[in-house]
Amino acid sequence: MATIRCTVDNCFYWAKNNYCGADSILVTSDRAANRYPEGVDAPQASVIAQDIGQTPANSCEDTACKTFRQKDG
Ligand code: SF4
């Protein structure tokens, strides 16, 4: 399994020293993400990934984590 480093420290899944603590995450192209305005929580990532299918991107700026969830408080 990959180790995911993430600097988005206001995410619920963010862990100390810039690690992602989620069991799984969904990364997709911005274009596909716009079709799914809601965040995709870690337990649902596999299901939604199947639904979305393949979404090529032209650059890293065209991709994002859909599992981001704002930390409470
Ligand atoms: S779920 Fe996404 S935004 Fe949140 S810590 Fe993990 S990689 Fe970062």
Q: Output the tens digit of pLDDT for each of the chain's 73 residues.
A: 789 999 999 999 999 999 999 999 999 999 888 887 788 888 888 888 898 999 999 999 999 999 999 998 6
User: Assign residue 42 a region: left if phi > 0, alpha if psi is -120 to 50, beta otherwise?
Assistant: alpha
In angstroms, what CA-CA distances link 31 with 2, 7, 19, 36?
A: 24, 22, 26, 9
pLDDT at residue 62 in the model: 96
pTM given for the model: 0.87
**What does the pLDDT read at residue 73?**
67
Q: Is 65 in the pocket of ligand 1 (CB under 6 A)?
A: yes
Locate the ligand 1 atom nearest the alpha carbon of residue 66 and give its number: 2
- Rounded to whole angstroms, the Cα distance separating 64 from 73 reads 23
Asked whether the beta carbons of 2 and 36 are under 8 A apart, the reply is no
